[in-house]
Structures are given as structure tokens and as C-alpha cells.
Amino acid sequence: MKPSDRMYYLKKYLKGDAYKVVEGYFLLNTEEAYQEVKGLLEERFGNEFQIAKAFRERLHEWKKIPACDDITLSYVNASYSNTLISFTLLGILYTKMDRNYKS
């Protein structure tokens, strides 16, 4: 995957303090910038399992959706797919993360 794609997905999912720490790097779109951002985030906010856990918690926090609500179900499906893509981009294997997740 291209570094610009990695930076795009990372930028899309960061918020708050994590975003503020690395926002200047998003202008670079290089592999070096991505690795620097990844290192800063790991150093400041935890390891890959904590990052993965945050993504999973976000998915689990959604309210129950009625089966007849196609629009919301479609949104959840897209968000879940994007989260799995993010796991891949961050180098987190889903099965590895899933074994270590404690709900």
C-alpha cells in the first residue's frame, strides 16, 4: 500500500491529542513520515494492542441497530471494514489482536 494511503487512513481515525501530536506529518505522505507517526503514537499512547482495543471498543459502543435500518447497518458495515483495513495498515493482525482482546 502506498504511504499516502497509509497516512490517509491514519489521519481519518485519529482524534484529539493523538491527532494533535502528529498532524504536521500528514502533509508529507512518505513512508518515513508514516513510520515516524507510528513511532510517536506508540511511544505516547501505547502499543499496538491498545490501539486495536480502542478500535474494537468503538465498534462495541454502537447502539443496537434494528435489522430493518438498512442505512445504519450499511454505515456500520463500512466502518467495520475500514477498521479492519486500519488494523492491516498499522501492522496488527486481526487474529493476533482478537486472541488478546478482553471485553
pTM, whole model, 2 decimals?
Answer: 0.47
Task: Give the C-alpha separation, 31 to 36, whole Å.
Answer: 9
| Ranges under pLDDT 70 in the chain | 47-48, 50-51, 89-103
Q: How far does CA 36 lie from the centroid of its chain?
A: 16
Taking a C-beta distance cutoff of 8 angstroms, is the pair 37, 22 a contact? yes
pLDDT of 64-92, one tens digit each?
878 788 888 888 788 778 777 777 766 65
Task: Give the C-alpha separation, 5 to 13, whole Å.
Answer: 13
Taking a C-beta distance cutoff of 8 angstroms, is the pair 40, 21 a contact? yes
pLDDT of residue 61: 78
